[in-house]
Structure 1
Amino acid sequence: MSDSLEALIRDLRTFDRRKEVTNALARNVRKPVPAVRKAIRQRALAVLPARGGFGRWVSKLSITARVKLQGRAAGVSLKGRRKGFPDKQPKVDLRRIDQGRAAAPSWGRRGDGDWHFQQVTPGFFSETGAEFDGWRKATLDAVDEALEVIRRG
């Protein structure tokens, strides 16, 4: 893969329609995103506490993907968001939940200072996204297709 990626970077520098190729490349790399969303939501339902509907509530998060094709940090990044309770929290800290700590109301109270942290199973988001097999195949196919377009001219 690294040989074909290096060849793509080298050939893109001199290709006159590089914007067209990079847009197609990004579009092809994004193809597995719906399957990743589904896998993350299913994992949240499976590993997060079901009591009180917490796992179900977290599984309704919105997930966006960003494809970056330039620089040293080229790759796909996933971002998850979930709005909190309208009257108490503007948004939920999904990163902390993914790390294994979830904020919970103490004995049903939701006022300031009435929340505590409880341990949950870590990695429902990050591990699921990283372990998904479709990324590698989609990326390899996209790079090969882009190289073919460049070589055809």
Structure 2
Amino acid sequence: MNTKIYECMKEVFETNTPFSNFLGVKVLLDDAQNPYLRLDMQPHCIGNYMQSILHGGVISSLLDIMGAIVAVEGVISRMADEPKENIMKKFEKLGTIDMRVDYLRPGRGTFFIATGEAMRTGNKVSVVRTKLKNNENTLIAAGTGTYMVG
């Protein structure tokens, strides 16, 4: 992934989005330069305090944020040579149309990783599949989302 595009993603999804910032979401790149999210378990993310597990709303939020990143990446990846202002403009049209989450296991872990892949990206809409795993690489939840990208 182009450095400029990665920096734009970090700025939008990690720094400028208040809810992502509140959760403590970090936008990172794997060895193949694919974006992913990391969230360290924190007290404000716990849903069931007796079991100390991740709140279902936090799980769905991570999958939604990851879906949005993958969706917009399909559009802005072609803009590597354009000015940052043009790339940032593309984020204005981004929005979740529909999302489904399958909660597979309780959200136990010290940190969580969200990944995703585009199933189809068009000029206006992108469909994305996402996964959330814990620090032991256990699949916690999976999601499918449809995003407005243009």
TM-score, with structure 2 as normaliser: 0.36
Higher relative contact order (CA 8 A, sep 6+): 1
TM-score, with structure 1 as normaliser: 0.35
Higher helix share: 1
